[in-house]
Amino acid sequence: MFARIFKPAKTAMQSGKAKTQDWVLEFEPASARHPDPLMGWISSADTRAQVRLTFETKDQAINYAEHHGIAFRLIEPEVPPKIIKAYADNFAYNRRQSWTH
């Protein structure tokens, strides 16, 4: 039983940061998935793949895993740099980039 503890990244389908503040404990797949011969749906005998626990802090997730004897891998989030922009910068006389349109 091996788990990952991570902070999910924001989805590409939205510009907001919803559901990215909590830490997630998710189990690694124990067996490979295979298609059902009749319907073609992907299935697996591993029921832990359906478990996804959320925690408010990283320490809560680590304590839960240690208390229940779950081996885990902690994945720290990469924080993107903040780029401060203003619409007026497009028309500044001392622009660093050339005007493209």
pTM for the model: 0.72
* DSSP letters spanning 54-95: EESSHHHHHHHHHHTT-EEEE-PPPPPPP----GGGGG-TT-
Q: Euclidean distance between the first and final Cα of the chain, in Å?
A: 56
Parallel, antiparallel or unpaired: strands 2-6 and 71-74: parallel
Closest CA relative to residue 97, chosen from 85, 25, 17: 85
Q: Which domains does the chain have, with CATH numbers?
A: 1-9+21-29+49-101 (3.30.160)
pLDDT tens column, 74-94: 999 988 898 888 888 878 878
pLDDT tens column, 12-62: 887 788 888 999 999 998 888 889 888 989 888 888 888 999 999 999 999
State how far the Cα of 84 lies from the Cα of 10, in Å rounded to an integer: 19
